[in-house]
């Protein structure tokens, strides 16, 4: 269930709009290189440049969670209360 509600905001190079980067997963303090324009960023700099993309991803995950909650709640009500036209 945890993986069902995880997501990744897509990072975009602010110079060339590329989405292809080279980086070391194990070194969180390392640099990130755009493979299209060869610009090198710190992780913080790239996150700041993409700060508009992150809330979009968070909102999509929120909508998934809310939708699943509503559907599950309706199923529980139908099961426990019985069929009622108000709970379609």
Q: What is the pLDDT of residues 31-70, one digit of tens each?
A: 999 999 999 999 999 999 998 888 887 888 889 899 999 9
Q: Work out the angle at residue 8's Cα, subtended by the Cα atoms of residues 37 and 27, and round it to the nearest 5 degrees.
A: 65
> Which 8-state DSSP code applies to residue 23?
-
Neighbours of 61 (CB within 10 A): 13
Query: Please, what sign has the CA dihedral across residues 47, 52, 55, 59?
Result: negative
The band of 14, judged by pLDDT with boundaries at 50, 70 and 90, is very high
pTM comes to 0.57
83: helix, strand or coil: coil
Task: Give the separation between CA 51 and CA 23, rounded to whole angstroms.
Answer: 19
Tokens matching residue 32:
């990130």
């Amino acid at each position: 269930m945890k993986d069902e509600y995880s997501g990744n905001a897509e990072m975009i190079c602010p110079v060339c709009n590329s989405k292809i980067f080279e980086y070391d997963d194990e070194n969180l303090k390392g640099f990130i290189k755009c493979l299209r324009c060869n610009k090198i960023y710190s992780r913080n700099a790239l996150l700041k440049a993409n700060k508009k993309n992150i809330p979009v991803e968070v909102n999509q995950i929120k909508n998934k969670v809310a939708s699943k909650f509503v559907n599950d709640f309706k199923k529980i009500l139908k099961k426990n209360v019985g069929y009622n036209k108000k709970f379609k």
